[in-house]
Structure 1
Amino acid sequence: MKTSSTTMAVDGLLAVGGILSLALGVSGLILVKNQKLEVIWNKRFAAQLLCWIFICKGVANSLRSIGYETEFWRVVLYGGHFNDQIFGGLILLIALIFPVPILRTRKQFNIGVAVVLAYILLTIGAAVFIKVNTPLAAFTGLYLIPGFIWTLVYLKFRFMKGQEDNEEIQGVADVAVLLLVLMIGHILFRWVGMFAGSDYFYFMDLYGGNFANDYLWSQGLASAVIFGLVILCGEIYQASQGRVRTTSYVV
């Protein structure tokens, strides 16, 4: 009974989170479309991609909140999975252009889009024609790349000598922290059982017990913890030097 009630509570959390994410993404797209100010290309694309990742995660969480004990379980399974893969690809694209553009020209960005699109199509094809729990269908280690990029951006700009009071420089570090929190934060909707000590979490068979996927998923979580600890230590040091920023409280 405890497990059932806890699962229902988590499903409710997924539904609320999904609806809020979807609404935020759609409203964000409307605001970006109606933007009248001249904005540099990478910031404009990053804003659009950010809205779409909220939409993707909103759809995925809303579908999963229905549960798999339904005649439409295939829609729940594949719909959630496909949106997760698109979410991961868009996160990677954002990391490559914002807040510091690694892809510095539109041509390079178009190549990046083509590569990420090919990856998404590969994962979707593998899920449909092989199995959802095959490693090709979900490379969770993809989170390592944007996490690594944003952590390096944070370290470079937060600890840039002589620029400790430069709001523009420190603002770049703040954005990197917030994007990293965004990438990791969506996991909490699914992993709340870990903090609640719920039975269902400890007996949950991730991706059908596939070792490769279990390993990759654990790897993604472990890397998220490492990135978070690096930033936490950095903010503690900055606070000890009397340089506390708003993002310090977020961390």
Structure 2
Amino acid sequence: MAGDSSNLLYIGAILSVALGAMSLRIIRKNKDLEWNEALAARIICWMFIGKGIQNAAVANMQDTSVDMWQFYAQLSSGLDNLFTGTIIALALIYPVPLLRSEKQVKIGFTMLFGFLVYVILLEVSGNPYTVFELPGIVYWMAMICWSTMYLKFRLIDPGNSNDSTDNIAIVSGLFLTLLMGHIWMWWPGMVLQSNYFYFFDLAGGPMTSMTWDYMWNASYTICIVTGFMLLGVEIFQYSKGNGSILLYLIIPYFILGAIGYIVYSAPETTVSHTRGTNDTLASIWNLLTSQLHFTVMRPLIAMFVLLKFGLFNINEETKPMAKIMTIILIVVATSAILELIQSIVPINQMISAALLGIIIALGIGWEERSFDSLASNKSNVRVGVGKRWFPNVSISQKTLERLDLVCFIYILVIFLISFIVWQTDMLVTVMLERYAEAGGVG
């Protein structure tokens, strides 16, 4: 299963980087976006460029030599910090800006950038994976910002409700799903206090302290509570005849979570197997659920938001590239799913190739209709909503270009730091020190 996991990560890397880079090119040509939408669109693009490179780093870390793993481990950690920063920045400005003035935007983004630099300094000074990095902060910040927006506009008084208020709630729910969806599939483990929930995604051993592990598990718990909140509100609204696409998106995660509890609680499944590389049912299930969310569902949700809510300016110049992006999404996602099925159920290569061709042909045909529908029926989050929710802030084109430059330079710096960590054996040194402190064998 190690090979299958790596293959899926490579597929996710290609998908994320391709969509992120092509989206960025289209968005840079759109001069008509509101200030927070222009920032949000760029942040989404860099989020997935960084996440794609991180997926490739994790895949290489699983397959590489004894010493080279340090380079990919540090690269993955640094780009995960970029993901944390982009998620928090996005939650602060979109769909409703919580930063209300130019001064607040500058202070907020400066503090966020300072936090990323602070985490880098901790890691290069030989103090990675400590509580000073505030593990899980991304989930807490996203929960506070997007849950507040969701509840405010989803449960708004019917007299003030309109399509835009519904769209604000939907966008908030979509981003919560993008970030937390894989964790929602572990809800039975949290509710029933099963062992697999407490050890599922931890580094394990002396590398992390008990406090670090507690903070990480606490953030996962709040994610599941957030998922239950979304599910409860959507069921309530559906019962009143005001259902939305969120209900149909969220329910499968919780159903898969119930099935996953049976898999992870099986007698032959141990804690180490749930995220290990053993060829077990638990490993296969994790590949089909959590890993598929990381590599396929996240880009799919982001692409939907960019197209549906007007962050793309689809015109005669940009339409061909936008359509290419949707085709890439369909082809790569289809290939990934078929690859997973083939790794579990042996299928003749000729049959597999024929199935892939048929599915892609159907997918491209569906893409024609769905793309035209999304491009021509865009949804708005501002029309009919009080102006007090959307203050006018002056963000120049030069500032937006600087944001692109900062993100690009950050990624280059992370590559350089990762190389230094590898050459100096920094991670190995930290591991030996912490194992020695814990009384382990160095």
1:70-219 correspondence runs (5 A): 70=65, 71-137=67-133, 139-163=135-159, 166-185=162-181, 206=203, 208-219=207-218
* Counterpart position of 1:48: 42
Q: How does 1:5-84 map to 2 (within 5 A)?
A: 5=1, 7-36=2-31, 38-68=32-62, 69-70=64-65, 71-84=67-80
Q: Work out which of the two has the higher radius of gyration on C-alpha atoms and give 1 or 2.
A: 2
Deviation (angstroms), 1:135: 2.2
Greater RCO (CA < 8 Å, at least 6 residues apart): 2
Deviation at 1:99, TM superposition (A): 1.0
Contact 1:99–1:176 (8 Å) recurs in 2: yes
TM-score by length of 2: 0.50
Helix, strand or coil for the counterpart of 1:63? Answer: helix
Q: Is the 8 A contact 1:11 1:66 kept in 2?
A: yes
Asked whether the 8 Å contact 1:158–1:164 carries over to 2, the reply is: no
For the residues of structure 1 that align with 2:132 and 2:228, how far apart are their CA atoms?
30
Q: Answer yes or no: is the 8 Å Cα contact 2:57–2:75 preserved in 1.
A: yes
Please report how far the alpha carbon of residue 218 of structure 1 lies from its aligned counterpart in structure 2 after TM superposition. 1.1
**Whole-Å Cα distance in 2 between the matches of residues 41 and 16 of structure 1?**
33
SS at match of 1:206: coil
Distance in 2 separating the partners of 1:152 and 1:203: 28
What SS does the aligned partner of 1:101 have?
A: coil
**Alignment RMSD (CA, Å):** 2.4
In the superposition, the TM-score normalised over structure 1's length comes to: 0.85
Contact persistence 2:150–2:173 (CA under 8 A): yes
Q: CA deviation at 1:79?
A: 0.5
For the structure 1 residues 204 and 221, does the alpha-carbon distance in structure 2 shift closer, same or farther, using more than 3 Å as the test?
A: closer
In the superposition, relative to structure 1, how do residues 171 and 117 fare at CA in structure 2: closer, same or farther (>3 Å)? Answer: same
1:18 match: secondary structure: helix
CA distances 1:8-40 after superposition (whole Å, capped 9, x unpaired): 32232222222211112111111111214x211
Note the C-alpha offset of 1:130.
2.2
- Say if 1:60 and 1:80, in contact at 8 Å, map to a contact too: yes
Percent identity of paired positions between Structure 1 and Structure 2: 30
Aligned-pair distance for 1:87? Answer: 1.0
Instruction: Say if 1:131 and 1:137, in contact at 8 Å, map to a contact too.
Output: no
- Change beyond 3 A, Cα 1:204–1:156: closer
| CA displacement, residues 142-167 of structure 1 (integer Å, 9 cap, x when unaligned) | 32012121111111101101257610
Offset from partner CA, 1:48-94 (integer Å, 9 cap, x none): 11111111211111100112542321221111001111111111111
Give the unaligned 5+ runs of structure 1: none
For residues 80 and 181 of structure 2, the distance between their equivalents in structure 1, rounded to whole angstroms, comes to 14
Shift of the 152–204 alpha-carbon distance from structure 1 to 2, 3 Å rule, reads closer
Could you say if the C-alpha distance between residues 204 and 94 of structure 1 is closer, same or farther in structure 2, counting changes exceeding 3 Å?
A: closer
Q: Deviations over 1:195-242 (max 9, x none)?
A: xxxx9x968761634323222221221111111110000000111111
Match of 2:192 in 1: none
Task: Kindly indicate whether the alpha-carbon contact (under 8 Å) linking 1:42 and 1:101 is maintained by their aligned counterparts in 2.
Answer: yes
Letter in 1 for 2:147: T
Aligned pair count reads 236
Q: Structure 2 matches for 1:218-233, cutoff 5 A?
A: 218-233=217-232
- Taking the aligned partners of 2:159 and 2:212, their CA distance within structure 1 comes to 43
The Cα shift of 1:246 comes to: 2.0
CA distance in 1, matches of 2:119, 2:159: 43
Provide the C-alpha distance between the structure 2 equivalents of 1:246 and 1:204, rounded to a whole number of angstroms: 29
Q: Is residue 25–residue 54 contact of structure 1 (8 Å, CA) maintained in 2?
A: yes
Mapped to 1, the partners of 2:46 and 2:183 lie a distance apart of 17
* Alpha-carbon distance in structure 1 between the residues aligned to 2:150 and 2:69: 41
1:142-195: CA deviations, max 9, x gaps? 32012121111111101101257610111100110011112224769xx9xx9x
